[in-house]
Structure 1
Amino acid sequence: MKFPYSLALFDLDGTLVDTAVDIAEAVNRTLDDWKLPQVEEMVIRGWIGDGARVLVETAFRHAGSDVAVDDIMEGFMVHYGETLLLRAKLYPGVAETLEALQSQGVALTVCTNKPQRYVRPLLEHLGIADRFGAMVGGDTLPERKPSALPLLHLAQLFGRQPGDCVMIGDSATDAAAAKAAAMPLVLVSYGYPRGFDLRSTQALAVIDDMRALLSLHPQASGVASASIA
């Protein structure tokens, strides 16, 4: 079956790559620097997706600290870089799906709120960087998801209309960005939804495995989300 969209935009953390263990390590190292209590990884998983600054602010407020985020970020980014490649791993089926889409001539991009300078090193480490024709991070443009700007920028870069593209993500941030860009959306069920009800959206599908993306059928806007087995 031929994939129905000519450009695919992938979120990174929680969609292509499970990075929560490494991100949690960076957060806890930073909390330790400030003599604050550690936080369980499962709690930190619920904070991932809105960018490093929001993550840090959430962690420090959770710890009861009112220290200014600007005073924390430099140290956090050092730890973030140190832990970036420790235990990150691709989700099942990601490598095969990217290869299959590329073989069909689908242009592939990354659209993430992760700081730009960490995106390519992570993807190179995991062996999939060469699959992507462009990568947009959370600080690449003046606005990040849930703004439509990163999605529309990538569509324009490849000369596509939003309706010819599909955003693949795992959270309310991705869903809001796709809606703002009037771009079709697919959500994965295994990422970092942060309490968001994935099936409350007008996504084309909610999939449990990235390989299910290859069976995607285009649907009219407004169709309720569906699972792909």
Structure 2
Amino acid sequence: MPFPYPLVIFDLDGTLVDSVSDIAEALNLTLQQWRLPQVDEAAVRQWIGEGVRALTATALRELRAGVAVDEVMPDMMRNYGQCLLHHPQVYPGVREALALLQGEGVTMAICTNKPIGFVEPLLEHLGLAGYFSAEVGGDSLAERKPSALPLQYLAGMFGQPPQRCLMVGDSATDAAAAQAAGMPLAMVRYGYLRGFDIERAHAVAAVDDLRELLALR
């Protein structure tokens, strides 16, 4: 049987790539520049998913920093870019799953809340860029996940109704975006779940390894 979804849209951080150490490094460099306390990586892992601005705002709020996120963001974005390629890790099974899907003629795209300017360099660095026909970042459109807009945009780009596409993610943000778009959802059990119970996501699959997606055939 062919794979039932001609377009598969992947989240990036926490689904394909573990980038938390680099994000935490960038955040802590920024906090240091503003003479604020450091935060540990475990805390940062709980804050990822809504984009870099939301992450920074959460850190400032948790630290009761008394400084506006708009003031801090230029430093955070500069540090984010500098730390982007330090230690990102592709999750086990990702390369193999992407190759299998590509071999079956499935079109693949990225929908992430990471700023779009950081997406292609990260994919190129990790040798993943060749698998994806399009990427949408958190600042590509007027709205980001959990809005339905990015998923609807990608589905429309490839002439597919949302119900014939598959969103693959790791968080409540991804689940909410898929639900809003009327798009089937697959969840990974690793990544940045932030306490989200994936059994409540009404996913067509919940996997420990992306190669398990091929069982949907």
TM-score (normalised: structure 1): 0.93
Shift in Å, 1:2: 2.7
Match of 1:67 in 2: 67
SS in 1 for 2:47: coil
Aligned partners of 2:174 and 2:13: how far apart in 1? 11
Task: Write out aligned runs for 1:32-181 (5 A).
Answer: 32-181=32-181
Q: Distance in 2 between matches of 1:19 and 1:2?
A: 32
Query: 2 CA distance for matches of 1:151 and 1:37?
Result: 37
- Describe the superposition over 1:158-216 as per-residue Cα deviations: whole angstroms up to 9, x where unpaired: 00011110000000000000000000000001010111111111111111111111112
Check if 1:205 corresponds to 2:205: yes
Which deviates the most, 200-209 or 107-116?
Answer: 200-209
Which amino acid in the other structure matches residue 24 of structure 2?
A: A
For 1:201 and 1:57, the matched residues in 2 are separated by: 27
One-letter amino acid of the counterpart of residue 179, structure 2: K
Residue by residue, what CA displacement relative to the aligned partner does 1:17-74 show, whole Å, maximum 9, x if unpaired?
0000000001111111111111110110000010010000001111111211110000
Corresponding pairs, count: 217
Residues 52-110 of structure 1, C-alpha deviation per residue, up to 9 Å, x if partnerless?
Answer: 10000001111111211110000000100010000001000111111110110100000
Matched, 1:5 2:9: no
**Cα shift at 1:142:** 0.3
What is the aligned partner in structure 2 of residue 223 from structure 1?
none
- Matches of 1:194 and 1:27 in 2, distance apart? 18
Which residue of structure 1 lines up, in the alignment, with residue 21 of structure 2? Answer: 21
User: In structure 2, how many angstroms separate the alpha carbons of the residues matched to 1:8 and 1:67?
Assistant: 40
Provide the C-alpha distance between the structure 1 equivalents of 2:196 and 2:15, rounded to a whole number of angstroms: 15
The structure carrying a bigger helix percent of its residues is 2
Distance 1:167 1:58 in 2: 26
Separation in 1, partners of 2:62, 2:2: 47
* Seq. identity, %: 58
Q: Over the residues paired in the alignment, what is the CA RMSD in angstroms?
A: 0.8
Q: TM-score, structure 2 length as denominator?
A: 0.98
Identify which range, 75-84 or 207-216, moves more after superposition: 207-216
SS in 1 for 2:12: coil
Partner amino acid for 2:31? L
Q: Which moved more, 1:134-143 or 1:190-199?
A: 190-199
Structure 1 unaligned spans of 5+: 218-229
Secondary structure of 1:167's counterpart equals strand
The runs of at least 4 consecutive aligned structure 1 residues that moved more than 3 Å come to: none
1:126-149 per-position Cα deviation (integer Å, ceiling 9, x unaligned) = 001011000000000000000000
- Corresponding letter in the other structure for 1:22: D
